[in-house]
Amino acid sequence: MAFPNLSDIVATTIQNRSGKLADNTLKQNALLNWLNERGNVKTFSGGNVILQEIMYNDANTQNAGSYSGYDVIDITPNSPISAAQFDIKQYAGAVTVNGLEQLQNAGKQQIIDLLDGRVSVAEKQLMNSLSAGVYGDGTGNGGKNLTGLAAAVSTTPTTGTYGGINRATWTFWRNVAFSAVTDGGAAASSANIQSYMNRVLLQTIRGADAPDVAVADNNYYRFFLESMQAIQRVTDDKNATSGFAGLAYYGAGKKMTVFCDGGIGGSIPTNRMYFINSDYMFFRPHSERNMVPIGGDRQSVNQDAVVKLIGWAGNLTTSGSQFQAVLGA
């Protein structure tokens, strides 16, 4: 006899795996894994947008400066604290079981075995979609995809609006963009990749502030790898065994870890390397929609089938665009 509470088993199976799924999603992507290790995966609990606090220098209201003796000190209110606003993006994966499959897998354990495979497929698809969104510009699927690095660290940073702030107006909100051909004079190669990386990083350093991680496609990572193979330099044991190909970069007075986030099915654009200061980059899932079952039973009106959804909501946010950079073709 078929186990009668199919819907309950589907829900329980997904619920039991949701915590692990949320963790595995972060490990699916080199940048998300790095942000997670640094405590920059921060949930939010509500609101119609995600607010990411920022600090900037407004020359029109700056009141800090030198004085002498009885000089009048400028006490004009100076509050260069604001927030960028990011839309809440939603993702979902579906797990379905029809009546025939229920009959063919009679018994609770057999149904669970069937569901494990179905849930695994839904999990992988959902993780891959989110991982791809990290490198997108937010316009995919009619503007429903994540506002990823293509928007956060733009190759054309003097135009467009990001996080509700117009980059044409506010220079502090522009990231560094370096073109190998236009700015460097030649296409990137193993012979010049380190020089280009040095030139990019020198534009992003402010005191101790500097990018601490870079993610590259297969081509640019290979150039960097080939430029260093003679000395076989790698990162520390933790990064070398994190599951991602990683190398240590020492230049411009700083140390940075460079990861390959391309490979099979990689979503990072071709001929692209992003330089990320993770102090100012965040992954913001909703506290109640972080790889969990969505809603109650979904029994088709005119089909013998049960559907359960796994859902995620949030976005990738930035609080300091000027500390991020991109090296492109």
pLDDT value of residue 206: 84
With beta carbons less than 8 A apart as the criterion, state whether 272 and 180 touch: no
Note whether residue 209 is domain-resident: yes
Domain that holds residue 163: 6-55+86-328
Note whether residue 230 is domain-resident: yes
Number of domains in the chain: 1
Inform me whether the pLDDT recorded for 243 exceeds 60: no
Note whether residue 75 is domain-resident: no
pLDDT value of residue 3: 44
Note whether residue 65 is domain-resident: no
φ and ψ at residue 92, rounded to 5 degrees: -150, 150
Confidence of residue 1 (pLDDT cuts 50, 70, 90): very low
With beta carbons less than 8 A apart as the criterion, state whether 283 and 36 touch: yes
Confidence of residue 308 (pLDDT cuts 50, 70, 90): confident
Mean pLDDT of 39-64: 83
Inform me whether the pLDDT recorded for 64 exceeds 50: yes
Please give the C-alpha separations between residue 152 and each of 10, 105, 167, 219, 254, in angstroms, as whole numbers: 38, 48, 11, 22, 23
- When computed from its CA atoms, the radius of gyration of the chain, rounded to whole angstroms, is 24
Confidence of residue 15 (pLDDT cuts 50, 70, 90): low
With beta carbons less than 8 A apart as the criterion, state whether 286 and 44 touch: yes
Note whether residue 73 is domain-resident: no
Neighbours of 234 (CB within 10 A): 12
Residue 159's closest CA among 167, 170, 151, 169?
167
With beta carbons less than 8 A apart as the criterion, state whether 328 and 178 touch: yes
Mean pLDDT of 249-256: 79
Confidence of residue 4 (pLDDT cuts 50, 70, 90): very low
Which residues partner with 306 through β-bridges? 97, 299
User: Using CA atoms, how far apart are residues 265 and 134, in angstroms rounded to an integer?
Assistant: 14
Share the mean pLDDT of the chain: 85
pLDDT value of residue 114: 74
**Residue whose token pair is 């990072």:** 268
User: Using CA atoms, how far apart are residues 204 and 34, in angstroms rounded to an integer?
Assistant: 19
Angle (nearest 5°) at CA 318 between 44 and 173: 140
Q: pLDDT: is 94 or 295 the higher one?
A: 94
φ and ψ at residue 50, rounded to 5 degrees: -95, 120
Model confidence, pTM: 0.84
Inform me whether the pLDDT recorded for 313 exceeds 60: yes
Burial class (CB in 10 A: 0-12, 13-18, 19+), 99: middle
Note whether residue 204 is domain-resident: yes
How long, in residues, is the chain?
A: 329
Burial class (CB in 10 A: 0-12, 13-18, 19+), 219: middle
With beta carbons less than 8 A apart as the criterion, state whether 115 and 10 touch: yes
Confidence of residue 78 (pLDDT cuts 50, 70, 90): low
Note whether residue 295 is domain-resident: yes
Helices (H), 167-229: 193-201, 218-228
Neighbours of 165 (CB within 10 A): 18
Inform me whether the pLDDT recorded for 286 exceeds 90: yes
pLDDT value of residue 129: 92
Mean pLDDT of 131-149: 95
> If DSSP codes are grouped into helix, strand and coil, which group holds residue 75?
coil
Mean pLDDT of 278-290: 95
> Each residue of 28-37: b (16+ CB within 10 Å) or e?
bbbbbbbbbe
Structure tokens of 243?
């599951």
Note whether residue 152 is domain-resident: yes
Per-residue model confidence as pLDDT tens digits over 108-138: 667 667 777 788 788 888 888 999 999 999 9
